[in-house]
Structure 1
Amino acid sequence: MKNIVILISGRGSNMQAIVEAQIPGARIAAVLSNNETAAGLAWAAERNIATDSLNHKSFDSRLAFDEAMMRKIDAYQPDLVVLAGFMRILTPEFCRHYEGRLINIHPSLLPAFTGLHTHERAIEAGCRIAGCTVHFVTPELDCGPVIAQGAVPVFDNDTADTLAARVLEAEHLIFPQAVADFVAGRLKISGNRVIRSPDATVQNTRLLA
């Protein structure tokens, strides 16, 4: 059984998708947040998943917060740490500590549109296809090796909100699949490449809507 710790900052819809997938061989050991009022914490607690929070505003530096969060995470002996809407830029120390077992989902087709406001930027750039990316986390923001991508069309009448809703549906599909592949040993990181076994369920890129 693989222990998974999920980090969230808000409602944690991707966390919910992973929990509800009931991934064989996976144990959701804890859901942690930098926001004690995050709605996802209450959702997880209702399902008897351990929860905890740590207010980043209580720390003098980003590193001090990350070190404290690492201590909380490590108490659950994680095989995988999942960033599911965890709205923090992580220090290199944090990334190195969980190297090879830290994954994130980003709401764009990386390497396009790293950082924030991805949907607005995709529309402004005239993109006809947008999407999301599951990737291993490295110290360089949103630049880790790609595990899977889900692509969706961008329509002429799209707003940032309507595009975000379509991308979120893709996130809820590919993120649990990526976690399942990691847990089952069907994917791993080697240098700056993701190695997949032939029976991996996630794909490099696919159009989902």
Structure 2
Amino acid sequence: MTEENGEAMLNIGVMTSGRGNALRMVLETCTGHGKVVAAVANLDCPALGVARDNGIPHVSLHRLEDYPSRAARDEAMAAELHKAGVDFIFSAGYSDVIDEALLSAFPDRVMSVYPSLLPAFAEDDEAIGPALDHGVKLIGVTFHLRQALSGAGGAIIAQEPIPVDVDDTIATVEPRILQTERDMLPGLFAAFAEDRVRREGRKLRILPAS
């Protein structure tokens, strides 16, 4: 981590695979608590262009087919992120599971977000539709640590419920989920930057700001 004007700042690496919307959200919400210094992708995707257009200094592509194994690919990604000075990772719209080779290089410092109140509807390719089809009254957002070879199995950092009703659809719920993610992110970046996150087994405790 670095400091600016006496405030602790994260050096954030973003793992991405998509259009860049999640990357833009990180760039917009980390101000004051961190800066994005690297972006890595597993696919040749528009998010890489977003990263370059926003002046992120380290941008790289790591396709699985270019490596002998997922472990080798993720070890190379970890090395690239360390080289860029990254001390915190957000897997924002990242389409693949992550090997322990990367997670062990950044212990308890790889965060992701999932559009449900985990562990409900974990590991679904698309969680909102199944939740609405099930007739839930609350959907939500979960920020969690990544777990090896799992998309949604890591320790929960923070959750926020979002009420839904029988007339809601994916189209009506998605904007509320995205806004909730945006609202939660600054506080989570601040908690990690200020070293206020404590692991207690599978449970995480966020200490109050001093």
* TM category, shorter: 0.7 to 0.9
TM-score by length of 1: 0.85
- Over 3 Å counting, the alpha-carbon distance change for 1:54 and 1:93 in structure 2 is closer
Q: In structure 2, what residue type is equivalent to 1:62?
A: R
- 1:193 is matched with 203
Identity level (%):
27
1:42-191 superposed matches below 5 A = 42-50=49-57, 51-115=59-123, 116-139=125-148, 141=150, 142-191=152-201
Cα offset for 1:13? Answer: 2.2
Letter paired with 1:186: R
Residue aligned with 1:135, SS: strand
Root mean square deviation of aligned Cα: 2.0
Amino acid at match of 1:99: P
Tell me if the contact between 2:30 and 2:189 (Cα under 8 Å) persists in the aligned partners: no
Matched positions, count: 199
Runs of 4+ in structure 1 over 3 Å off: none
Unaligned residue ranges in structure 2 (runs of 5+): 3-9
TM-score calculated relative to the size of structure 2: 0.85
Q: Tell me whether 1:4 sits opposite 2:12 in the alignment.
A: yes
**Deviation of 1:22 (Å):** 4.4
Unaligned runs of 5+ in 1: 201-209
Other structure's SS at 1:48 match: coil
CA contact (8 A) 1:100 1:188 kept: no
The structure 2 residue matched to 1:41, chosen from 41, 48, 63, is: 48
- What's the CA shift for 1:58? 2.6
What is the Cα deviation at residue 182 of structure 1? 0.7
Tell me how far apart the structure 1 counterparts of residues 29 and 205 of structure 2 sit (CA, whole Å): 23
Given that 1:17 and 1:176 are in contact with CA atoms closer than 8 Å, whether structure 2 keeps it comes out as no
Alignment check: 8 A CA contact 2:12 2:35 kept: yes
> How far apart, in 2, do the equivalents of 1:176 and 1:88 lie?
25
